[in-house]
Amino acid sequence: METKHEIYYVPEQSKLPLMASIGLFFTVFGLANWINEISADKDGSGMWVFIAGLAFFCYVLYSWFGTVIDENIQGLNSAQLKRSYVWGMGWFIFSEVMFFSAFFGALFYIRNIALPELSSGPTSEILWNNFKAEWPLMTTPDQALSGDKAVVNGPGENMANPGLGNWLGWLPFYNTVILLASSFTVHFAHTALKRDNKKLFNIWLGITVALGAIFLCLQWAEYSHAYHVGLTLDSGVYGTTFFMLTGFHGLHVTMGTIMLLVQFLRSVFKGHFSHHDCFGFEASSWYWHFVDVVWLGLFIFVYIL
């Protein structure tokens, strides 16, 4: 790696970090109170603290990114600093990968270790009235033991692969197509930018954002369908893993869409980005590819296998 050493830009003092910490604190403090209030069925101010904290936090982030962009426009950022941003984003995505690994690991463990154990030997015989495992888990151990009196009940229906022949009527299939397509469109946007074709760039980027939004709408439709047919967060481990994995993915798609949307707005209204200065866009697009790869994992391990 060839390293050119220009003067490294060390920013002046900044109020932003402390403000961001305060915002973050009130966000989680409010959220914790709010969640506790919901669980205890009590009224309280948690929700408002949370909303205020989050709004403030978002405002700080907005200013922060704004500052970084301004500095970049003023030409304060050296090539070396930009590489720091690249490393930063790269390792941040790696940390996200590890976050998802925890949940994929949990899914793997439950299917290959926990359920087989629950349905064999004395555990099954003595504790769960000869519970037998299946996947998707439609009948929980609790149901095997207590029948109608069970507290933890399996889902009414599951979202698993209906067989290749039925894919055309199967929503996750469309979601896969959409997300895969969006990976291509974002790549096309990048290529357009490399050729300094800003118009094409805007079009492809706009399409990507739209695809992200469509994905989210479909995901929402799937969730409401699931809740309608009795697949909820509390439908045993199937509901647990299904919603947690797809839910966190959905959250990341939301983040990714917002990130791309911001870049879109920057490009359209502020005329930002050129082929040699487009880190904001590139970072968002890496994130987008990452979200896409996670979906492939989901599609295989949550829906198909």
Of residues 67 through 86, those in contact with another protein by CB under 8 A are 80-81, 83-85
Provide the angle, in degrees to the nearest 10, between the axes of the packed helices 198-228 and 279-298: 30
Residue closer to another protein (CB basis): 10 or 168: 10
User: Of residues 49, 53, 77, 140, which one binds another protein by CB under 8 A?
Assistant: 140
Give Cβ neighbours of residue 267 (< 8 Å, ≥ 6 apart). 198, 201, 202, 205, 273, 281
User: Of residues 58, 114, 217, 265, which one binds another protein by CB under 8 A?
Assistant: 114
Give Cβ neighbours of residue 196 (< 8 Å, ≥ 6 apart). 274, 275
User: Of residues 48, 62, 70, 123, which one binds another protein by CB under 8 A?
Assistant: 123
Contact between 7 and another protein by CB under 8 A: the answer reads: yes
Residue closer to another protein (CB basis): 64 or 184: 64
Six-digit token string for 115: 């359920």
CB half-sphere exposure, 119, CA atoms < 13 A:
16
Smallest separation, CB 216 to another protein (Å):
21
Residue closer to another protein (CB basis): 39 or 276: 39
Residue closer to another protein (CB basis): 3 or 168: 3
Q: What is the dihedral of CA 147, 149, 154, 157, to 10 degrees?
A: 90
User: According to CB under 8 A, which residues from 37 to 66 bind another protein?
Assistant: 38-40, 64
Smallest separation, CB 66 to another protein (Å):
13
Residue closer to another protein (CB basis): 124 or 182: 124
End-to-end CA separation in angstroms for the chain:
43
User: According to CB under 8 A, which residues from 154 to 213 bind another protein?
Assistant: none
Residue closer to another protein (CB basis): 16 or 213: 16
User: Of residues 74, 75, 151, 169, which one binds another protein by CB under 8 A?
Assistant: 151
User: Of residues 48, 62, 149, 183, which one binds another protein by CB under 8 A?
Assistant: 149
Smallest separation, CB 127 to another protein (Å):
6
Region near another protein per CB under 8 A, out of 125-133, 164-172, 211-219, 252-260:
125-133
Q: What is the dihedral of CA 38, 141, 219, 179, to 10 degrees?
A: 130
Residue closer to another protein (CB basis): 118 or 205: 118
User: Of residues 49, 57, 77, 141, which one binds another protein by CB under 8 A?
Assistant: 141
Q: Are 80 and 3 in contact (CB under 8 A)?
A: yes
Encoded one letter per residue, x for contact with another protein by CB under 8 A and - for no contact, window 210-249 reads ----------------------xxx-xxxxx--xx-----
Contact between 286 and another protein by CB under 8 A: the answer reads: no
Contact between 8 and another protein by CB under 8 A: the answer reads: yes
Residue closer to another protein (CB basis): 42 or 195: 42
Beta bridge partners of 277: 274
- Among candidates 201, 203, 183, which has minimal Cα distance to 285? 183
